[in-house]
Amino acid sequence: MNHPADNPKRPTLREVASAAGVSPMTVSYTYSQPGRVSAEAAAKVRAAARELGYPGPHPAARGLRRGRVGTLGVVLGERLSYAFDDPQAARFLAGVSDVCAAEGVGLTLVPITGAGTDAERVAQAAVDGFVVWTTSDDDPVLDAVADTGLPAVVHAGPHRRGMPVIGIDDRAAAAAIGRIAFTEARRPLVLGFPLDRGRARQLLTGDALVDATFPVTRHRWEGFRDAWTDAGRPAAQLRLAVCPVNRSAEGETFALELLQGEEPPDAIAAMSDELALGALRAAARVGLRVPDDLTLTGWDDADAAVDADLTTLAQSLREQGAHCARVALGHPTGASARHEWHVVTRSTTRRPQ
């Protein structure tokens, strides 16, 4: 009459109950509240379950009745494999997964593709809460998440009603490291993330209207520009090289092109360590000395930044991920939504005079 795709038919709790000679509730309690049943009843149930090959309560049925499924949803606002391609996302997700493991909940990556069906996929995800990795202001997935009514957190932005934002003050941080990166600079460059979902590769100048819908890109750019203009320099001198994806090869290519161009930058502030390390390789290829000919800063203080002795902005994406997970799981947390950051000065920038 109907045929849910369970082949061969999986035994049910009720069948275990009658095989064990107890009521269904006794079986249920054996799995969910072992203290609630006597030792001998539990033994009978376990034996019958083993006999029938009963793997335990059906997750979907349990989830329906209990109202939670024991899984945290993560939305990346990007194609799914982004999670494993972008080192920043990976660090963040490591923090999310730390908490999930500790709480014993699964971590579901929602399959975003950029197609129109993404909202449906969010709505159909069987999860207890959502963590949204920083995305664009106009990402329709954000509304889909909000519509579920589940607890949800956004990392770094954008803001939405009912969804706390967890991250650092990107603008202030960018201004702080920008001041160091651009000391004595004459042709400063920001090596940055995409402006919007279009992810176009482009080169902009500071006086152009930079209309980034990715809040992280926008805030960091504004901070870098603050650093430059607060020093009394004209905004038009500052350029922004937009890399479509956050990979060192991307940074290397773009940096190389500019370093070999008409007005080679003498200071590069990157929005990630990956882009900065790419620029570092480009500098080496061109034969530039760092920091003498070119100063360079990264962002995140990843392991690779330590190895390369890169001046960078230290933040812990892992901690932010953990924090997001705790909040999305409804965990009471006293910690503030604004995380710490600080500038780590190493050998790719000059000592202040």
Partner DNA sequence: GCCGCGTTGTGTATCGATACACAGATAGAG
Partner DNA sequence: CTCTATCTGTGTATCGATACACAACGCGGC
What minimum distance in Å lies between the beta carbon of 236 and a second copy? 36
Question: Amino acid identity, residue 252?
Answer: E
83 binds, among a second copy, DNA, none (CB under 5 to 8 A by kind): a second copy
Three-state secondary-structure class, residue 209: coil
- Which residue number, 236 or 249, has a Cβ lying nearer to a second copy? 249
Residue 259 in contact with residue 280, Cβ under 8 Å? no
Query: In what helix (H) or strand (E) does residue 270 lie, and over which residues does it extend?
Result: strand 267-270
- Which residue number, 108 or 295, has a Cβ lying nearer to a second copy? 108
Three-state secondary-structure class, residue 274: helix
36 binds, among a second copy, DNA, none (CB under 5 to 8 A by kind): DNA
In the complex, which residues of this chain contact a second copy (CB under 8 A)?
3-6, 8, 10, 53, 55-71, 73, 79-81, 83-85, 90-91, 93-95, 97-98, 100-113, 117, 120-121, 123-127, 144, 147-149, 249, 303
47 binds, among DNA, a second copy, none (CB under 5 to 8 A by kind): none
Residue 254 in contact with residue 191, Cβ under 8 Å? yes
- Which residue number, 103 or 196, has a Cβ lying nearer to a second copy? 103
Q: What are the angstrom distances between the C-alpha of 270 and each of 177, 217, 246, 267, 346?
A: 10, 11, 10, 10, 15
What minimum distance in Å lies between the beta carbon of 61 and a second copy? 5
- Which residue number, 126 or 304, has a Cβ lying nearer to DNA? 126
- Strand-pairing partners, residue 163, are 160
- Which residue number, 28 or 320, has a Cβ lying nearer to DNA? 28
1 binds, among DNA, a second copy, none (CB under 5 to 8 A by kind): DNA
* Rounded Cα distance, 27 and 20, in Å: 9
User: Residue 86 phi/psi, 5° resolution?
Assistant: -95, 120
211 binds, among DNA, a second copy, none (CB under 5 to 8 A by kind): none
In the complex, which residues of this chain contact DNA (CB under 7 A)?
1-4, 6, 9-10, 12-14, 22-29, 31-32, 35-38, 40-41, 56-58, 61-62, 64-67
What minimum distance in Å lies between the beta carbon of 220 and DNA? 41
Task: Tell me 344's DSSP state.
Answer: E
- Which residue number, 20 or 240, has a Cβ lying nearer to DNA? 20
Ordered DSSP codes for 116-166: TTHHHHHHT---S-EEE-S--TT-HHHHHHHHH-S-EEEES---BTTB-EE
